[in-house]
Chains A and B, each alone.
Chain A
Amino acid sequence: MMTVDQIINAFKSGEKSAEEITRGFLDVISQKNPEINAFVEVFETGSLARAKELDQKRARGEKLGALAGVPVAIKDNILFKDHKATCCSKMLENYVASYTSTVVEKLLAADAVIIGRTNMDEFAMGSTNQTSVYGPVKNPVDVTRVPGGSSGGSAAAVAAGMVPLALGTDTGGSVRQPAGFCGVVGIKPGYGRISRYGVIAFASSADQVGVLAANVKDAALALEVLAGKDVHDSTSLEAPVPAYAQLFSRDLKGVKVGLPKGFLDGLADDIKQKMDEAAAQLQKQGAELVEVDVPHAKYAAPCYYIITSAEASSNLGRYDGIRYGYADEASADLNSYYENSRAPFGLEVKKRIIIGTFALTSKNYEECFLKAMKVRELIRDDFKKAFEKVDVLLTPTSPTTAFKLGQHDEDPLALYLADLYTCQGNIGGLAGVSVPFGKDKDGLPVGVQFYGPILQEEKILNVAYHLEKGL
């Protein structure tokens, strides 16, 4: 597959037309998607029309954008005007976006081609991509295994070569975990780096748009286009956006990589070995390894499930048949109207709403929600102190590699625990990137994760770039 860099060069130099490039990826999608199920809709007509427009723009000699001619897939919870956005839920099966999200506006302004929308766990709640109303996505590395989630469709699409770049969203690891499982790069910038305007909300204090790409440089090029303050999102940050892909250093001399104490306890031997190898390689490239203490990070997962479920119970209140979602016109009274209109939610979504509602009841508020919020403060303090000593932290992306479809269906807690390393980044608001680093004993990709402070994505991209380069 051509990299983003190669596509831009081929298009700008006239070696290939945008139409040729787009048709090439559409062909791969038509060959591979029936088995992988990464795309829920391909904008064939629209993407080809857009590609032809770009060819004309080039022919007129007009200046071309930073992602000129690059086909990009978007997760099914990101709005693109006049296109469906269903969150892979029956609740929104007929919803057509009435406006375009800021991230898609930015991609279009950079002359990218939006090629389709990708499969995901319903309302981004899940880490297997099995809760989608469109059926599960299969991991292109081994189709008997999950691609991870919730941005499993985006990760699988990139891994299968169906698209060079895809957008996902990450509330507890939904970009980085599938990136790790599928052997691609996934970056979730720090909270506020990318606008959430036009992204369907799950848990507003943790949701972030992220990028899935075949390599670190491609992810950096996309992040540069997407990052920045947006007047439509008050949580987006006013700060200059660096040219990330031009900031890769020659080596890692002077870079301090933090190894959090106890993070590798209980890991499978082969993943632990890959982590040791990654640390050794970084050291060989000039980095200094420093052990750091983040004592409360182990509590991130229970905090995450309480806080995000509480926020989801509020955010998903809008699907009541009046404001959004399915409307059951046949109901006899108002209560039945609400209950019937909210019936299309799937089992996992209903469960999270119930968890959140339960945690917010007056009986449980203090013990559950307030406690989780306070522990979140301690976790954030731990990371803040750690970043006073080091530039980045090195962790596994997930405790395991991709598991079999259906393997944890009877034990959701096992799935929740699998988010341990990724949800720390959302609870702390950190920037995080997962980069592939070799294979486990079964030949499955192992993901290595770097965390960095908010607004310092260039640090994690730089270290990830060197790790990738050293392979």
Chain B
Amino acid sequence: MEITKKDVALAAKLAKMRVSEHEAAVYEAQLEALFNWVKDLSAVNTDGVELSNVNLSAHVRADEPVTDEKRAALLRADFNASLDDCAKVKKVL
């Protein structure tokens, strides 16, 4: 993967950070080496792998049922929309 100074500058801008010319040059070389190494991952077949979409501990965590219905209703009322008794929020990409 080729990394350019422009890529470094764009990522720094998105992260609201200023990088000097010198830093950009150092990062450009180091990021290129790193992302070429990361390319090793492309050799792994991940077809059909689903993200568990839960944190690592979720499989041993107990359910946390709503105990205070009044408070839950108040929280839901603060949202603009709801679906199946859950607050509905905009999808963020």
Contacts and interface: CB of A to CB of B under 8 A. Distances in A.
B36 to A, nearest CB: 9
Contacts of B17: 339, 342-343, 345, 350, 353-354
B87 to A, nearest CB: 18
Contacts of B10: 358, 361
Contacts of A340: 18
A429 B18 contact: no
A305 B30 CA distance: 13
Interface string B35-58: 101101110101001111001110
Interface of B: 3, 7-8, 10-12, 14-19, 23, 26-27, 30-31, 33-35, 37-38, 40-42, 44, 46, 49-52, 55-57, 60-62, 93
B65 to A, nearest CB: 14
Contacts of A40: none
A228 B41 CA distance: 35
A377 B44 CA distance: 12
A368 B35 contact: yes
A340 B18 CA distance: 8
A354 B8 contact: yes
Given A235-B55, A373-B51, A413 B41 contact: no
Q: How large is the interface on A (under 10, 10 to 19, 20 to 34, 35 or more residues)?
A: 35 or more
B60 A454 contact: yes
Nearest to B44: A375
Contacts of A373: 51
Given A205-B55, A378-B49, A429-B57, A372 B38 contact: yes
Nearest first, the 10 A-B pairs at minimum CB distance are: A192-B57, A429-B56, A374-B46, A338-B16, A358-B11, A339-B18, A374-B49, A357-B11, A354-B11, A302-B38
Contact of B49 (A354, A358, A377, A413): A377
B8 A372 contact: no
A261 interface: no
Contact of A378 (B19, B34, B46): B46
A270 B52 CA distance: 40
A37 to B, nearest CB: 26
Nearest to A337: B16
Interface string A39-79: 00000000000000000000000000000000000000000
B23 A416 contact: no
Given A205-B55, A355-B34, 6 more contacts: A192-B56, A237-B61, A354-B11, A358-B35, A374-B51, A454-B57
